[in-house]
Amino acid sequence: MLPLENIKILSFGTGGVVPDAGKIFGELGADVIKIEAKDNLDFMRTIGPDINNIGQFNETNRSKRSFGVNLKTEKGRDIVSQLVKIADILAENFRGGVMKSLGFDYGNVRKLNPQIIYISSQGFGSGGPYSEYQAYGPMLSAASGVLSIWAQPDDPYPVGSNAPYPDHMASKHVVIAAIAALDYRRRTGKAQFIDMAQTEVAASLAGEYYLDYTFNKRIPKPMGNRSLYAAPHGCYPCKGTDEWCAIAVFTDEEWQSLCNAIGNPAWTSDPRFSDLLGRLENIDELDKKVGEWTSTLDTNVVMETLQAAGIAAGVVQRATDTLADPQLKWDGAIIELDHAVSGKRLYPGVPFRMSGTSPLKSTPAPLLGEHTEEICHDLLKMPDDEIKQLLEEDVLYNPENAKGAGGGMFG
Amino acid sequence: MTKEQEGALSGYCVLDLTDSNGAYCTKLLADLGADVIKIERPEGDPGRGIPPFAGDTPHPEKSLHFLHRNANKRGVTLKLDTVEGSNILKRLVKTADVMVDNSPPDYMAGLGLDYSVLSEINPGLIMASITEFGHTGPYKEYKGSNLVDFAMSGIMITSGYPGKEPCLLPGSPAYDSASVHASVSIVAALYMRGTTGQGQYIDTSVHVTSRTGLYPWIIPNYSYALNPGGPPPTSENRMGAQIYPVYPCKDGFIRIIALTPRQWDALMRVLDNPDVLQTEEWRSFMYRIGNADDLYALMLEFTTKYTMRELFEAGRREGVPIAPILSIADFYNSPQTKAREYFVEVDHPVAGKADYPGPPYKWTETPATVRRPAPCLGEHNEEVYCQELGLSTDDLASLTGGGIV
C-alpha cells in the first residue's frame, strides 16, 4: 500500500512549486492529474525547442498524468468541473487572479465539491497589494529579503544562484500542508482553503535573521561563508579550475586535528590560531593559509584527509561529483527513467524510505495530453466518439493534436 | 488568553529528540497544531548556544535560531543514556504518535531505543530518523555541517558572484531540506495510519535530501545535455547574474526576470524604449546571457532613473517580472507582509516580546500561527512528567536530583 493511494489531485501548476509538489504526491501514491493547455503552456515546457524534451520539466513533472484541455472554451471548463467533483485536492500556483478568471477560484470550486482541499501557492500570497504580481523563484528570494544576505560582504551586489530558490522548498511545504489538511478532513469531515506565500516560505527558512531585526533592530548584512562560531569556515580552492572543498572547524580540538592531518606545517603553530576567538579575529590570514594547502590537492583528497581526522569537509559538487559520490551510489539516490521522447535520463530518486509502504517510485513525466483520453474514458466515463469529437474541436489535447506548441523562450 | 483554535494536526503528539539541525522538521508539525514535546538533555540543546542572541547577550534562552525554530513546542529535559531516562522515554512513547531524532547512526539502537523496540510498545508509532549521510554506507561516519552539506548538495557551485568563491545560502538550507522531507513523510505516514492503524519507520539523510530540496535539476540538466567532449551545462556555473540579472536603481537594486522575447519587449517599455537596446539581437535570451557584461553597462543608464518600487510596479503593468532586492527590514515593513499579518507578536518569559515570522500559509478552518514561544529549558517537566505521565512530584524531584531530568 502507498500512503496516498486512492487520492486524486488536480494540479493547475506552472514552473517549480506546484509541479514539484505534484511529483511528490505522485511518488506517495496519489493519482495526480496535471491540467495543461496547448496555447498557455506550463512555463517550463517553453524553455527548450520541444515541449516534451526539457530536463527541468521532465524532472519536476514526474509521477503524474497530463490532461490536455482548452480552458478558454466552455466545454473545456465543463469537463474540468467534472474532474473537480471527484478530486480530493486541488493545487494551483498560477498568477494571482488567473484561477478566478477561469472560474476555478475556491468559492466556485467549493460549490462543485464542498469536500475538496484547495491549496494556492502564490509568490506573494493573496490578500495584499502584490497578490496578483507574477512571480518566479529568483524574484521571491529577492523580495523576501533573503537575497540581500546571500552574498559575500565585498560583492558589488547579491546575485544568489541561477537555481530557482525557494521553489523546491516551497513545494515541500505545499505537500505537508495538503496532506495535513487531508488528514484533518479524514478526522473531522472538514475541508479547507490554504493560501501560501512563497516569499514567506523563504523568510520562514531564515527566521533568525528577521528576529535579529525585530529583537535587536539590526538589519542583517551578508557574511558569505563566514560563521560567528567556526573558523576556518569556507570554500577553499583546490587543484583544477573552479574546484572547491568546503571546510568547517568549530572546536579547538577539531582545529588541532586539522593541523595534525595536514602535517603540522609551521604556520599552524601560530598562537593567533590556537583558539576560536583568535582564528575568528585573524580569519583572512587563516583562510589564505588553509587555501594554500588545499590549492595543490584534488577536492576529494582534501575532503577525505579531513574527514578521516573527524573534521566536516565536503566537495563543492558538480553533477559529475554527485554521480561519482559513493554514498549516493550506496543509497541509490540517482535513478534512471526512460521517457517516451527524451529516452533514458538521470534524476534524483525519492529521498526517504518508509518501512510500512510499498516501494515509493517515480514514473517519467507525461507528454502534453498523454493521458487525456484514458482520463476521459476511465474517470469521466465519456463515450469514445465524444472524446474523438472534442479532440477534433481542439477542446481536448493529446500528444498528436498538441504538436507544434511551444518554443516560447527562444522563439 | 483566548481559546486556542484547533490546528490541522491538533491531537497528535510528537516526541522531538532533534537538535537545532532537525528543529525545522518538528516546527512544521507544531505550526499546524501538533503537540510537539522537545526532549533535551539536562544541560540543554547545544542549539541554545547559536548566536546571535536577543539583546546580543549570550544566554541559553535567547538564541534567535533556537527561538525561531522551537516556537510552538513544549520542552522537557531527559538524560536518555541512562536506564531511568530511556524508561521514561518508553513511557512517553506509549501515547505518542510520532518521534523524530537526528542522532548519529547507531546511537538510538545503542540505547535500546530502536524502532523494533519502540514499535512493540506502540505499534502505531511513526519514527523518523534524520542522519547526516545515512545509517549505512561509505560516508556513514562522515561529519557534516550546514556549510559542508550545502557544498555537497549541488546548488553551491551555482551560488555566488561570478568568478568568486561559491557562497552559502543564509539559514540552514541543507538541514532544512532534510527537515521538510522528513515532515512530508511523517504526515504521509500519519495519513496512512488512519487506514492501517500501523506506524512505520522513516529513514532519511541530509546528504540525500539536499539534492531534491535545493536544486533537483543539476542531475537532469547534466544528463539531458550530456554530449561526450562537449562543454558542461551552463547551469553548473555561477550564472545568477547572467540569467536573472541584477541592476542598480535610484534607491537600491532590482532583479529582472526577462526570459521570453515578450518579457524583454515589456522590459523595454518599462525603461521607455532605450534606442541603444532596440536591436533584434538583444531580444534573444541566449545572446543576453552571452553578453551580460555589455548589457549591464548599457542598462545602468536606464535603470538608475527609477526607484525599486517604480520598476516593480511598472514590471507588473507591462508584463515583465521585476523584483526589488529588499533588506530583511524592508520585507518586515512591506505592505504585503503587513496585509497578510505574516509576523506574529510573541512574548517569551526571558527573551521578551518581539514579532516572529509566522507559518507561510493561511488556513481557513485550522489557523497556523505562533501560539507559544520556544520552551525554556525544562519548562514543561512538571506538566508532562507529573500531570500527564503520572509521576509524583517526589519522583520528579529525585529524577532531577539524579541528573536524569
On the question of a common fold for A8-205+332-397 and A233-324, the answer reads: no
The DSSP bridge pattern shows strands A8-12 and A31-36 to be parallel
The pLDDT value recorded for residue B185 is 98
Q: In the prediction, which pLDDT does B2 show?
A: 43
pLDDT digits (tens, 9 = 90+) for B308-323: 999 999 999 999 999 9
Instruction: Say if B367 is an interface residue toward chain A (CB within 8 Å).
Output: no
- Complex ipTM, two decimals? 0.97
Q: Would you say residue B1 has pLDDT above 70?
A: no
* CATH hierarchy code of domain A8-205+332-397: 3.40.50.10540
CA atoms of A146 and A142, how far apart (whole Å): 6
Q: In what order do the strands lie in the sheet with A244-248?
A: A233-237, A244-248, A312-315
Closest residue in A to B207 (Cα–Cα): A328
Q: B residues 268-327 near A, CB within 8 Å? A: 284-286, 312, 316, 319, 321-327
Tens place of pLDDT per residue across chain A (411 aa): 999 999 999 999 999 999 999 999 999 999 999 999 988 899 899 888 889 999 999 999 999 999 999 999 999 999 999 999 999 999 999 999 999 999 999 999 999 999 999 999 999 999 999 999 988 888 999 999 999 999 999 999 999 998 999 999 999 999 999 999 999 999 999 999 999 999 999 999 999 999 999 999 999 999 999 999 999 999 999 999 999 999 999 999 999 999 999 999 999 999 999 999 999 999 999 999 999 999 999 999 999 999 999 999 999 999 999 999 999 999 999 999 999 999 999 999 999 999 999 999 999 999 999 999 999 999 999 999 999 999 999 999 999 999 878 765 544
What's the confidence (pLDDT) of residue A380?
97
Question: B230 pLDDT exceeds 80?
Answer: no
Supply the Cα-derived Rg of chain B in whole angstroms.
Answer: 25
CB atoms within 10 A of CB A326: 10
Q: What distance in Å separates the CA atoms of residue A40 and residue A13, rounded to the nearest whole number?
A: 12
User: What percent of chain B is predicted at pLDDT more than 70?
Assistant: 97
| Structural domain spans, chain A | 8-205+332-397, 233-324
DSSP string, A355-376: TTSSPP---PPPPTTTTHHHHH
- Alpha-carbon gap, residue A29 to B61, rounded angstroms: 42
- Give the best residue of A154, A211, A330, A347 to mutate against chain B (max B CB count within 10 A): A211
**B264 interface with A at CB cutoff 8 Å:** no
Tell me the chain A residues in contact with residue B327 when contact means C-beta distances shorter than 8 Å.
Answer: 145, 148, 219-220
Contact assignment for A351 to B211 by CB distance below 8 Å? yes
Burial class (CB in 10 A: 0-12, 13-18, 19+), B400: middle
CB A283 within 8 A of CB A291: no
Q: Which of residues 4-43 of B touch A (CB under 8 A)?
A: 8-9, 11, 24, 28, 32
Structural domains of chain B, ranges and CATH numbers in brackets: 13-214+344-401 (3.40.50.10540), 244-332 (3.30.1540.10)
- The set of cell numbers assigned to B74 is 513544549
Closest CA to B128 of B100, B150, B107: B100
Q: How far is A161 from A243, CA to CA, in rounded Å?
A: 17
Which residues of A fall within a CB distance of 8 Å from B255?
138-139, 142, 147
Of A260, A243, A225, residue with least CA distance to A300: A243
Q: Was domain A233-324 assigned CATH 3.30.230.70?
A: no
Model pLDDT, residue A61:
98
CA proximity to A201, closest of B48, B177, B243, B218: B177
pLDDT tens readout for residues A69-85: 999 999 999 999 999 99
Q: List chain A residues with CB under 8 Å of B336.
A: 124-125, 128-131, 197, 199
CB contact at 8 A, B217 and A56: yes
Instruction: Considering only the beta carbons, identify the residue of B139, B183, B356 that sits closest to A211.
Output: B356
Is A327–B194 a contact, with Cβ atoms under 8 angstroms apart?
Answer: no
Contact A259, A303 (CB under 8 A): no
Q: How far is CA B58 from CA A249, A250, B62, B75, in A?
A: 21, 17, 7, 20
